[in-house]
Amino acid sequence: MPVRSRLIITTGVPGSGKSTFALRMVERWGAVSFASETFAEQLGPASRTASGDLSKGAILHAYLAMGDAVAHALTKTSLVVAVGSFRSEEQRRRFREIAKSLGASVTTLRIVCSIETAAKRIRSRLDFGERGPTETAIGQIDAELNRGRDIDRLLSNELSIEDFHRQIDAVIEGLAGTQSIAHPVQPPGMTPQR
């Protein structure tokens, strides 16, 4: 039986752990991952507002370009992760439609943590020259996401990275139980565990 492709729309405020989730999906589960921020950065400094959030133009550009990349990837691989704040239901709906038009299943997963934790993580990134939104902007994004009624699963990222990885793996194993999807990638020299 052929493996049906799956798209995981990964949403959450900046600093919630979306990139950590995507990295785990790539390294452990062999996923292909795309981040809206990568596409927005193509616009250079104009991609950010004074508060550090992405500008409306950058958001539009990023989600259009990422949608095209996701559509292409879903025709080539079994597990695709789309990462972004996905603050509006319209953005999430568009990606659901892309997946469904290609016969792929889709799950919308929101990674949650407190606004204070997210802001602290963003501040630590600023120390390394990255840009990101203020705590106020993070709170506004959180409020938009809280109005969403189309989130399939929530994943908390308040504790250790090991705990977060365990939660990620449990979610993916649960999805694997509903249909055939990618299996964990084994590092060279390791024997698969059964």
Confidence (pTM): 0.86
Question: For residue 184, is pLDDT > 70?
Answer: no
- Are 108 and 7 within 8 A, CB to CB? no
Question: What's the pLDDT at 178?
Answer: 56
Is 159 part of a structural domain of the chain? yes
Domain housing 31? 6-178
Is 1 part of a structural domain of the chain? no
Is 185 part of a structural domain of the chain? no
Render 40-72 in DSSP notation, one character per residue. HGGGGGGGB-TTSSBPHHHHHHHHHHHHHHHHH
Distances (CA, A) of 45 to 48, 68, 126, 139, 161: 6, 23, 15, 23, 31
What's the mean pLDDT in 74-85? 95
At 81-121, the pLDDT tens digits run 999 999 999 999 999 999 999 999 999 999 999 999 999 99
Question: For residue 151, is pLDDT > 60?
Answer: yes
How many domains, the chain? Answer: 1
Is 147 part of a structural domain of the chain? yes
pLDDT bin (cut points 50, 70, 90) of residue 189 is: very low
Compute how many other C-beta atoms are within 10 angstroms of the C-beta atom of residue 120. Answer: 13
Compute how many other C-beta atoms are within 10 angstroms of the C-beta atom of residue 91. Answer: 22
Q: How far apart are CA 109 and CA 154, in angstroms?
A: 6
Is 189 part of a structural domain of the chain? no
At 7-45, the pLDDT tens digits run 999 999 999 999 999 999 999 999 999 999 889 888 888
Measuring CA to CA, which residue among 43, 36, 50, 51 is closest to residue 134?
51
Is 93 part of a structural domain of the chain? yes
How remote is the C-alpha of 129 from its chain's centroid? 22
Question: What's the pLDDT at 2?
Answer: 54
Helix residue spans in 30-152 (DSSP H): 36-40, 56-74, 89-101, 115-126, 135-146
Is 183 part of a structural domain of the chain? no
Is 194 part of a structural domain of the chain? no
Q: What is the CATH number of the domain that holds 42?
A: 3.40.50.300
